[in-house]
Chains A and B, each alone.
Chain A
Amino acid sequence: MNEQHYLENLQDIKRMMLRSSKFFSISGLSGILVGSYALVAAWWAREIISAAHAYTRMEIIVALTALAMATLVLALGTAAFFAHRKARKHNESFWDPALWNMIRAAVLPLITGGLFGLGLILNGYYTIVASATLVFYGLSMVAAARYTYSDIFYFGLLEILTGLVALFFPYYGLWSWAFGFGVLHILMGIWLYFKYDRRSVSKS
């Protein structure tokens, strides 16, 4: 029994606490891809809007909502696929209680934001849809951050800030949306990749 032994004990305690309560399999690469999808979707949305005169209002809304949904499904699928791959590479299980905790924390603001956005669209408040979705998304990231890398907390704050700034530039909704969901995701992905993923790859 010496100092080394006690120190090891304390390190074991800390490691076990972290491993069991936080989900560390979020992959930086998925952030980069998700951001890229958002940029493509924003560009596509702009094309649809610029051709708006040829269609009815309802057709435009349906087209834009379908585009948003498709992007969301693709983004979630990509994030799950890369997280699963990262967990397997590190011999950790994907369905950890930490993942459930994270999903549970994120899902309420996320669904609230989605329905809120839908309500805004159906009532014709198009100019603040981008702002509202960004703010709710940021809130869900802040909530989820408790169960994963703390960097996600600051990412969430940036999303909220983007949404609030967008509120004052209502006619640039698509640009703020592209910045928040596109550029910020890509930057966060690059950040996570260089801070966590690359180092652990070179170690193994």
Chain B
Amino acid sequence: MKDIFRHINKIFSNKIRLGIMSMLMVNEQMDFNTLKRILEVTDGNLASHLKALEKAGYISVHKSFLGRKPHTAYQATDSGRKAFEQHIEALENLIKRQKE
């Protein structure tokens, strides 16, 4: 029984982190403000979740300047993509399992 939970990733159990990863899977990169607008969260809240994903090595951060404004873009790393795919697969397996 433990086995099928192995790929359920604790990091993705949070809705905001799940949302961030979902968006970074289908977009090459996204900036802080767009993520914030779509997820409807506060700056501090979003920043702490991004930090957690960065620490896990699932996303990379790219800081630059657009004119004089700082611009922060986020990108999913290869290991982040892999972990997320495994997480989705595990979710699907669990649902299948419970239906049987």
A9 part of interface (Cβ distance < 8 Å): yes
A21 to B29, CA, bound (A): 11
B1 part of interface (Cβ distance < 8 Å): no
A93 CB contact (under 8 Å) in B18, B22, B37, B98: B37
Chain B residues within 8 Å of A13, by CB: 18, 22, 88
Interface contact tally, CB-CB below 8 A: 50
Q: Which of B49-57, B60-68, B89-97 contacts A (4 or more CB under 8 A)?
A: B89-97
Chain B contact-residue range equals 10 to 19
Identify which of residues 6-62 in chain B touch chain A, using a CB-to-CB cut-off of 8 Å: 15, 18-19, 22-23, 25-27, 30, 34, 37-38
Say whether B19 contacts A7, CB under 8 Å.
no
A10 part of interface (Cβ distance < 8 Å): yes
Chain B residues within 8 Å of A9, by CB: 18, 91
Shortest beta-carbon contacts, A-B, top 4: A16-B22, A20-B23, A21-B26, A3-B98
A147 to chain B, nearest CB (A): 11
Say whether A3 contacts B26, CB under 8 Å.
no
A17 in contact with B23 given A10-B88, A97-B30 (CB within 8 Å): yes
- Give 26 A-B contacts (CB < 8 Å), ordered by A residue: A3-B94, A6-B91, A9-B18, A9-B91, A10-B88, A10-B92, A10-B95, A12-B18, A12-B22, A13-B18, A13-B22, A16-B18, A16-B19, A16-B23, A16-B38, A17-B22, A17-B25, A20-B23, A20-B30, A20-B34, A21-B23, A21-B26, A93-B37, A97-B27, A97-B30, A97-B34
A46 part of interface (Cβ distance < 8 Å): no
A3 to B25, CA, bound (A): 24
Q: Mark A29-55, 1 if CB is under 8 A from B, else 0.
A: 000000000000000000000000000
B99 part of interface (Cβ distance < 8 Å): yes
A21 nearest in chain B by CB position: B26
B46 to chain A, nearest CB (A): 14
Q: Main SS of chain A's interface residues?
A: helix
A2 nearest in chain B by CB position: B98
A59 part of interface (Cβ distance < 8 Å): no
Q: Mark B69-100, 1 if CB is under 8 A from A, else 0.
A: 00000000000000000001001101100110
A12 in contact with B27 given A2-B98, A3-B95, A97-B34 (CB within 8 Å): no
Chain B residues within 8 Å of A6, by CB: 91, 94-95
Most chain B Cβ neighbours within 10 Å, of A2, A6, A16:
A16
A88 part of interface (Cβ distance < 8 Å): no
A149 to B9, CA, bound (A): 32
A96 to B26, CA, bound (A): 14
A68 to B30, CA, bound (A): 37
Say whether B27 contacts A21, CB under 8 Å.
yes
A61 to B94, CA, bound (A): 67
Chain B residues within 8 Å of A3, by CB: 94-95, 98-99
